[in-house]
Structure formats: structure tokens, C-alpha cells
Amino acid sequence: MTELPDRLSVDPRSPHHDAELLQRGIGIRFNGAEKTNVEEYCVSEGWIRVAVGKTLDRRGNPLTIKLQGKVEPYLRTPAAED
């Protein structure tokens, strides 16, 4: 089983970006509810960043807000067995 990182971002410019892991599919349960619009998460600090509609900032990135709570990441698809 793959250990999920404490922090992960979908932004390729972030130091917390892992394209290979994101391709496998990461699901996030936040305070017990499934979230599909998470841009970044941190388990140890207990927060997620979610996109606010289709609004973009002045650099063309999605506008996000930070929500505090219990973060539970999981893999949507299991690793292929060799």
C-alpha cells in the first residue's frame, strides 16, 4: 500500500505536487463528506484549499479558500500488482 503524503497540491508549480500520484486518483473526505474540488490539502495542519466556482485570480489560477477540519485522503484506484 502506498503511503499518501501529508501535503499534496494539484498545481504543477508547487513543491508539493506529485503528478504520478495524482494520475492514480486521490480522493478527499473532509469532515466526513466527499470533496471533489480540492486544489491542495494538508493532513497534519487540518486544512484543504477548494476552488470558488469558476472565478480566477489575476494570474489565471482558480480562486481558492482554505477550510479547516479533519482531512482524510485515500487512493481511488489501487496500485497495479507486478
Mean pLDDT by 10 residues, the chain (82 residues): 85 92 92 93 96 89 93 81 50
For residue 38, give the amino acid letter: V
d(CA 75, CA 78): 7
**pLDDT at res. 82:** 44
Nine cell digits for residue 13: 508549480
**pLDDT at res. 62:** 84
Contacts of 55 (CB under 8 A, 6+ apart): 62, 63
**pLDDT at res. 80:** 58
Burial of 12 (0-12, 13-18, 19+ CB in 10 A): exposed
In terms of DSSP bridges, do strands 38-42 and 7-9 run parallel, antiparallel, or are they unpaired? antiparallel
